[in-house]
Amino acid sequence: MRASVSSRRKNESASLRARSSPQRLHAVHANPTLRRHVRAGAENRPGIYRMYGPGDETLYVGKSVKLRTRLLSYFRAPRGEKSWELINETARIEWDYIPNEFYALIREMKLIQRWQPRFNVQHKRRRIYAFVKVTREPAPRVLPVTRISEDGATYYGPFPRVRALAETIREIVHVLGLRDCPANTPVFFDDQLEMFEAGRVPYCIRAELGSCLAPCCGSPTAGQYRAAVELARRFLEARADAPLTNIERQMAEASARLDFEYAALLRDRLERLQAFRDELVAFRGRVEDLTFLYKVPGFDGDDRVYLIRRGRIRKELPLPKGKRARRSVARAVEAVYGETDCGPAGLDPQEAAEILLVARWFRLKPEERRRTVKPEVWLEDGA
């Protein structure tokens, strides 16, 4: 009897502790209509969702392969967690169904980059690769950066060697004579009409050393400077070797005047730029390898085919299931993959992020490559 009373007391104590445990303090949302809206309207299928604050601020963008389950989980979040804070600031939830996880991931990334929601972290702060930025200025600068933004500049990349990129770009800039001064440095060109142009002096020693065209003091014409910037662009696109040939010429001149120490420095610089050029070519090859049709099964038979060229989704179509549909896809394949290949070009921020995300998808899911088909094979087989 005594043992029974003791056991009952223990059970009552355990029950009391469970009821008072912090883990049971779930969110109590001020607007129960929001939860009923989700329970009544959301389905368990792939999709993306957006949470808005009282002032219509986009608080969060997310994705899930089971949308209804994911949204309802926010209402069960323990007090103090990020999900609890998010749902208690949310006044409105909207969602769109996406046929599959792959495109939901791409769509989520684009919306996050567009709106920069306060509660999102991924796709806003991720720093995996470096980029080369060609600024949009009268005398553009070529800069290594670790983030891309909507500033009108042109971005090249992504490049895998983040730490080495800064030194490499510094050498390219010096070889081609491009400026690396602050953005607020005044710029003048030799063919620019100015009322007061006498007595202008360079802002740094690079002009005297001959490693800068020195637009700060009006030395080059606008055309000369643009030509140097174009050489840098072509080198970054692995379509020109101008910086390398310039160094080889300087090496020959240094050797001719018996300045072997300077020639050795130039040789080391040449070797570093050659290694970087080889990396450009190899990395470009990996991006080019992301050129195919990707067939993806979708929810409830909504299968899709994505036309991917150089890591970017150029077109999304229903997976054809008849002769007429196959002919329609074939025309799209010819249009997307038949356009002239001018080599890699500058990327806007979303394009660069999309390439990284597509590459990561196939790196983490190598089995998905079995669903891909090369354009020429699709056209030959009538797949």
Give, for all 383 residues of the chain, the pLDDT tens digit.
Answer: 444 445 555 455 544 443 433 333 344 454 688 999 999 999 999 999 999 999 899 999 999 999 999 999 999 999 889 999 999 999 999 999 999 999 999 999 999 988 989 998 866 555 466 788 999 999 999 999 887 777 788 888 777 667 788 888 998 998 899 999 999 998 888 876 554 455 577 778 888 888 899 998 888 999 999 999 998 988 887 777 878 888 898 899 989 999 899 899 889 889 888 888 887 777 778 888 999 999 999 999 999 999 999 999 999 999 998 888 999 999 999 999 987 654 455 666 677 788 889 999 999 999 999 999 999 999 987 65
pTM of the entire structure? Answer: 0.67
DSSP-derived 3-state class of residue 59: strand
Q: Whole-angstrom Cα distance, residue 18 to residue 156? A: 57
Predicted confidence at residue 155, as pLDDT, reads 83
The rounded radius of gyration (Å) of the Cα atoms in the chain is: 29
| Contact (CB, 8 A) for 208 and 202 | yes
| Contact (CB, 8 A) for 221 and 189 | yes
**In which residue ranges of the chain is CATH 3.40.1440.10 found?**
24-115
What size, in residues, is the chain?
A: 383
DSSP string computed for 68-131: HHHHHHHTTPBTTSHHHHHHHH-SEEEEEE-SSHHHHHHHHHHHHHHH--TT--TTTS---SEE
Indicate the residue type of 372: T
| Contact (CB, 8 A) for 247 and 270 | yes
Predicted confidence at residue 20, as pLDDT, reads 37
Predicted confidence at residue 202, as pLDDT, reads 77
Assigned superfamily of 24-115: GIY-YIG endonuclease (3.40.1440.10)
Predicted confidence at residue 22, as pLDDT, reads 36
Could you tell me the two tokens for 351? 């394009």
DSSP 8-state code for residue 347: B
> Which runs of consecutive H residues, i.e. helices, occur in 237-317?
242-256, 260-288
Q: Whole-angstrom Cα distance, residue 291 to residue 100? A: 20
Separate counts of helices (H) and strands (E) for the chain: 13, 10
DSSP 8-state code for residue 369: G
Q: Whole-angstrom Cα distance, residue 107 to residue 292? A: 20
Predicted confidence at residue 11, as pLDDT, reads 52
Q: Which residues have C-beta within 8 Å of that of residue 294, sequence separation ≥ 6?
A: 102, 305, 306, 308, 368, 371, 372
The half-sphere exposure of 290 on its side-chain side, counting CA atoms within 13 A, is 22
Which residues sit opposite 131 in a β-bridge? 145
